[in-house]
C-alpha cells in the first residue's frame, strides 16, 4: 500500500481530510515523504535544542508544484507518532517565501480529535506565541536544508481550501488521467 495513492478519495475533501503524520511535535529528526514507496525517510537531524513545535504530515491524493503531496502543520496538543492517520480540517495556508522567487506552501490543519485545537477556526485564533514559534522553526528548518526563508505568511481558510482543490486537480491529472476543464469565458 502506498499511502499517497491508496487512500479512499472520500476521505480527502477540502473541508475535512485524513492526514498521515510525518514529524512528531518535539522531535529533532526531520522525516520526509518518499513518494515512490509511500514511506518516510530521514531527511536530516535538527540541533538537539531545536525541536519541532507541531506535528506535521501529508495530505494523500494531492500533487504540489514540487511533485509531492501537500505538507501540513497539524495543530494538536500532543505529539503524534509518524505514519498515524489523523482526521483534520483546514485552518489556513502558510507560504514560505524563499530567497529568490521560490515559494513553499503548507496547510495549517486542526486535528479534529483535539478538543482545544478543533475549536480553532481561523489563523487569527491561533495564539501569537504559537504562530511565532512555528515561524522560527520553519525559518530554521529552511536554513538547515540550504534554502533560507525571506518571509513566512499566514493566509485564511479560503486560500487553504483553494490550494487543496488545485492540488487535488493536479493529482487527478497526473495519476488518474483526468482532463482539466478550463473556463473559456
Do the Cβ atoms of 163 and 106 come closer than 8 Å?
A: no
Place of cell 487553504: 160
Q: In this predicted structure, what is the pLDDT of residue 168?
A: 97
Count of all residues that appear for the chain in the document: 185
Q: What is the pTM of this model?
A: 0.91
Instruction: Report pLDDT for 179.
Output: 65
- 144 touches 45 (CB < 8 A): no
Evaluate if residue 185 carries a pLDDT over 60: no
Tell the burial category of 66 from Cβ atoms under 10 Å away from its Cβ (0-12, 13-18, 19+): exposed
DSSP 8-class letter at 3: T
pLDDT given at position 181: 56
Q: For the segment 123-134, what is each residue's pLDDT rounded down to a tens digit?
A: 999 999 999 999
Residue 145, pLDDT score: 87
Amino acid at each position: 500500500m502506498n499511502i499517497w495513492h491508496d487512500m479512499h478519495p472520500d476521505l480527502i475533501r477540502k473541508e475535512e481530510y485524513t492526514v498521515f503524520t510525518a514529524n512528531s511535535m518535539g522531535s529533532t529528526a526531520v522525516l520526509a515523504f518518499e513518494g515512490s514507496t509511500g514511506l518516510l525517510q530521514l531527511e536530516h537531524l535538527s540541533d538537539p535544542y531545536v525541536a519541532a513545535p507541531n506535528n506535521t504530515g501529508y495530505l494523500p491524493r494531492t500533487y504540489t508544484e514540487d511533485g509531492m503531496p501537500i505538507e501540513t502543520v497539524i495543530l494538536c496538543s500532543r505529539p503524534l507518532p509518524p505514519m498515524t492517520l489523523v482526521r483534520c480540517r483546514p485552518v489556513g495556508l502558510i507560504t514560505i517565501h524563499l530567497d529568490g522567487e521560490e515559494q513553499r506552501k503548507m496547510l495549517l490543519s486542526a486535528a479534529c480529535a483535539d478538543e482545544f485545537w478543533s475549536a480553532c477556526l481561523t489563523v487569527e485564533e491561533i495564539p501569537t506565541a504559537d504562530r511565532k514559534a512555528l515561524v522560527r522553526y520553519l525559518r530554521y528548518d529552511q536554513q538547515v536544508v540550504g534554502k533560507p526563508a525571506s518571509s513566512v505568511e499566514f493566509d485564511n481558510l479560503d486560500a487553504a481550501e483553494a490550494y487543496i482543490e488545485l492540488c487535488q486537480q493536479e493529482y487527478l491529472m497526473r495519476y488518474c488521467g483526468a482532463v482539466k476543464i478550463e473556463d473559456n469565458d
